[in-house]
Structure 1
Amino acid sequence: MNQRRIPRKRTYLLCAPEYFSVQYVINPWMDPTAPVDVELAVKQWDRLRETLLGLGHTVHVLHPEPGLPDMVFAANGAFVVDGTVYGARFRYEQRTAEAAAHRAFYEAQGWRYVAPTVTNEGEGDFAYLPDAHGGTILAGYGFRTEVSAHAEAQETLGRPVVSLRLVDPRFYHLDTALAALDDRNIAYYPGAFSPASQQVLAQLFPDAVLADEVDALAFGLNLVGDGRHVVLNSEASGLASRVAAAGYVPVPVELGELKKGGGSVKCCIAELRH
């Protein structure tokens, strides 16, 4: 019998896709020739926001800015642990200005903001598990975030950082290949990582839920878990069954329009950890 999973109330930051479009190519999923239905994108995003609120979580909304079509992917703007914000520094100039918008939000809230000196893309490449091994940050590198940012994050946040090398460009951020299901366990797709990183993950998380390539390519791992509920892309039905078998409650949502920009549930959500 699976253990009873207990949800924990979370605080999230989202940004509406009011100006969402695919105007350039900075990941393998983006195709500027494919039409984007902004009205549908907003409706799907609204459903995601309502889903989080319905699960009892607090949701803050960052004001979108024209000229920043990827701003809906709010996870990339910073990484927050225990009230300290490690700011983002984007690799591509098309997204650079997003960092300032996130900084302004956190400073207005009175959070301690630490500006980065090296490239990192926030929760796109960082995941925090407060109850795993005394509090562990998993950090991806290989395509966006520089590995030197892992050391900077460790010094900034005072938590041990485990570096994981991504090797498949389709999984260009850690949050496309790995996600925290709760405060101590994860789900991930082994094929996105180098052999050595796969060994590290297997040692640290022997009870992890493993995704196959089909569900990984459906952005199934770009999910958000609160300890009991797992909000994930509705296309990833196989992964939904696996997390259910592990005792979690899958909550599927449709984000097909935003997927055209290379993101899904987690990309849209930054967690504010007080």
Structure 2
Amino acid sequence: MLDRGARSLRRTGTARPDRAPEAGKRTGWARHAVPMTSVLMCRPEHFTVSYRINPWMRPEQATDTRLALAQWETLHAVYRDLGFDVRLVDPLPGYPDMVYAANGGTVIDGTALTARFRHTERAAEGPAYGAWFRAAGFAVHEARHVNEGEGDLLLVGDTVYAGTGFRTDPRAHAEAAEVFGREVVSLQLVDPRYYHLDTAFAVLDPAGGPGAVAYLPGAFDDASQEVLRFRFPDAVVVSDDDAAVLGLNCFSDGRTVVHAPQAEKFAADLAERGFGTVGVDTSELRRGGGGIKCATLELRS
């Protein structure tokens, strides 16, 4: 039987800043055993929206750094209580988007492919994350082509699904295949609101399988939609409304999906499939075009 706190979390589906879910209370939701999840995060101490490099960003509208910090702290606490190994990289003054750690690189089998950003406003983030990878003992490959880390390179089973169309250069897909020795499947993004793959495609079960992902069909061109239907016939197909609150920008350890609480239908679909769900509001970070997954870089040893 789940304890009272776990029953409450399952009922509400949302974590409050003063009450994160308790670790080790997920047995009622477990799909299968998973290894410890290790992630890298960056505190949004300098978060603001002072320029516009995606449709979500509106510099003319005020942002609340304290609220962004509070929401980030809740996400951090949820990860710790889920038993994750959470590591931190120091934020750089003047780089408000550094909170979106997923863009800082891609780490698979102990090797880090550094990010190379398309926009000059974020250029210094790549070297900063690269330095962290080296200090942490990862083998580091300096990117030759523009890629924006796990924003566009997502691992499902043994295959990397790679987005392009707005940020990552398609030549970086071949580079990732070379660096990681994995099959890389290219997916073409066509809706500027979903400029990174991780805003339109979510990995629910990192081990892979037919129902391992969720996605928004309209974010992809026809050929990519055909690839997704063929490879993931049992995928969760997400509505426009749930995608528009960055519901697909979620993070899963294979048992529990941490997601935007505003994506209510998506959360219900996940629960029907046996996933635990925890809603964490990152609406202030969404002003910069990112959410839960953007704030989370998985470190795979």
Q: Share of identical aligned residues, percent?
A: 49
1:234-255 superposed Cα distances (whole Å, 9 cap, x missing partner): 1111110111111111110011
* Alpha-carbon distance in structure 1 between the residues aligned to 2:215 and 2:77: 26
* Alpha-carbon distance in structure 2 between the residues aligned to 1:213 and 1:71: 27
* Alpha-carbon distance in structure 2 between the residues aligned to 1:224 and 1:4: 16
Letter in 1 for 2:32: I
Please state how far the C-alpha of 1:139 moved relative to its aligned partner.
0.3
Does residue 238 in structure 1 map to residue 265 in structure 2? Answer: yes
Please state how far the C-alpha of 1:256 moved relative to its aligned partner.
1.1
CA shift in 2, pair 1:166/1:63, >3 Å: same
| Correspondence for 1:6 | 32
Moved more, 5-14 or 170-179: 5-14
Gaps in structure 2 of 5+ consecutive residues: 1-28
Does residue 270 in structure 1 map to residue 293 in structure 2? Answer: no
Please state how far the C-alpha of 1:216 moved relative to its aligned partner.
0.4
* Alpha-carbon distance in structure 1 between the residues aligned to 2:30 and 2:168: 36
Q: Structure 2 residue aligned with 1:109, among 94, 115, 136?
A: 136
**Structure 1 runs, 4 residues or longer, greater than 4 Å off:** none
Pairing of 1:114-153 with structure 2 (within 5 A): 114-130=141-157, 135-153=158-176
- Aligned alpha-carbon RMSD (Å): 1.0
TM-score scaled by length of structure 2:
0.88
SS at match of 1:99: helix
Number of equivalenced pairs: 268
* Alpha-carbon distance in structure 2 between the residues aligned to 1:189 and 1:262: 17
Please state how far the C-alpha of 1:4 moved relative to its aligned partner.
5.3
Note if contact 1:186-1:205 (Cα within 8 Å) is conserved in structure 2. yes
* Alpha-carbon distance in structure 1 between the residues aligned to 2:246 and 2:266: 10
* Alpha-carbon distance in structure 2 between the residues aligned to 1:167 and 1:55: 35
Note if contact 1:209-1:246 (Cα within 8 Å) is conserved in structure 2. no
Please state how far the C-alpha of 1:6 moved relative to its aligned partner.
2.5
Letter in 2 for 1:157: F
1:6-49 superposed Cα distances (whole Å, 9 cap, x missing partner): 35220000000000000000000000011111111100000000
TM-score scaled by length of structure 1:
0.96
Gaps in structure 1 of 5+ consecutive residues: none
Note if contact 1:27-1:262 (Cα within 8 Å) is conserved in structure 2. yes
